[in-house]
A and B are shown apart, each in its own frame.
Chain A
Amino acid sequence: GNSVTQMEGPVTLSEEAFLTINCTYTATGYPSLFWYVQYPGEGLQLLLKATKADDKGSNKGFEATYRKETTSFHLEKGSVQVSDSAVYFCALGGGSQGNLIFGKGTKLSVKP
């Protein structure tokens, strides 16, 4: 079945460092891919998405490119801020009920 594998955390970076969070998926067909972010004490918010191969989703300085050949959707940001500290979830669409299938989440802590 469809699944998402996300790099284990936690990830601790200094402010202005480069961020990469790896995400790979297994799926039939061509599902949409998402990154959601969960700030402390809050619900999940959509960060960015891509609906087809080679699409690049971007938002708030974060980017991820839908790579069909490597079945990946890695999240990147060139210069992280303390306010980026959160848990990041990679997800793919196309669950049996129309739901999303999530990775385990990666906790990011950015130190000043």
Chain B
Amino acid sequence: GAVVSQHPSRVICKSGTSVKIECRSLDFQATTMFWYRQFPKKSLMLMATSNEGSKATYEQGVEKDKFLINHASLTLSTLTVTSAHPEDSSFYICSARSGTSGINTGELFFGEGSRLTVL
């Protein structure tokens, strides 16, 4: 099946610094990738939709200046948490749809997730 790889899996940073998380589709091209944030005991919340070659579409309440998303190629999207603060500590997950899955099934393939801890 389609493979999505996310890096780093864990990162610890100091408050005020920026952290970049990469999401790669390894064996397929993904024109669209999704970034989710997972809170403890809560559902995955969609943060933004990353579109190759264009600006990301952010969900209501998500600060686009804090969570910078770049989708530079058909296999790579990055999420940069700028000026991170302890409340940004969370589990961030990217996902992508393989072109072979098609729109009808809507199946997404997920990265392993990145655990961010801001001290």
Q: Which partner residue on chain B sits nearest A10 by CB separation?
A: B41
CA distance A6 to B47 in the complex (A): 21
CA distance A101 to B43 in the complex (A): 9
Interface size class of A (residues with CB under 8 A): 20 to 34
Interface size class of B (residues with CB under 8 A): 20 to 34
Say whether A89 contacts B111, CB under 8 Å: no
Q: Which of B70-97 contact A (CB under 8 A)?
A: 93, 95, 97
CB distance from A65 to the nearest CB of B (A): 17
CA distance A94 to B105 in the complex (A): 10
Q: Which partner residue on chain B sits nearest A32 by CB separation?
A: B106
Asked whether any CB of chain A lies closer than 8 Å to the CB of B108, the reply is: yes
Q: Which of A4, A34, A101, A102 contacts B107 (CB 8 A)?
A: A34
Q: Return chain A residues, CB-CB under 8 Å to B57.
A: 97
CA distance A69 to B110 in the complex (A): 30
Q: Return chain A residues, CB-CB under 8 Å to B4.
A: 43
Q: Which of A32, A43, A98, A104 contacts B110 (CB 8 A)?
A: A43
Which of A12-20, A45-53, A70-78 forms part of the interface with chain B? A45-53
CB distance from B14 to the nearest CB of A (A): 25
Say whether B49 contacts A51, CB under 8 Å: no
Q: Which partner residue on chain B sits nearest A97 by CB separation?
A: B49
CA distance A49 to B97 in the complex (A): 15
Say whether A98 contacts B97, CB under 8 Å: yes
Say whether A98 contacts B32, CB under 8 Å: yes
CA distance A11 to B4 in the complex (A): 29
Q: Which of A33-51 contact B (CB under 8 A)?
A: 34, 36, 42-46, 49, 51
List the 8 shortest-distance A-B pairs measured between CB atoms, nearest first: A93-B106, A97-B49, A43-B112, A44-B110, A104-B43, A102-B44, A43-B110, A102-B43
The chain A residues found within 8 Å of chain B, CB to CB, are: 4, 31-32, 34, 36, 42-46, 49, 51, 89, 93-95, 97-105
| Contact sample, A vs B, 27 pairs, CB 8 Å cutoff | A31-B106, A32-B105, A32-B107, A42-B112, A43-B93, A43-B110, A43-B113, A44-B44, A46-B107, A46-B108, A51-B104, A89-B43, A93-B105, A93-B106, A95-B46, A97-B32, A97-B34, A99-B46, A99-B49, A99-B95, A99-B108, A101-B46, A102-B44, A103-B43, A104-B42, A105-B42, A105-B44
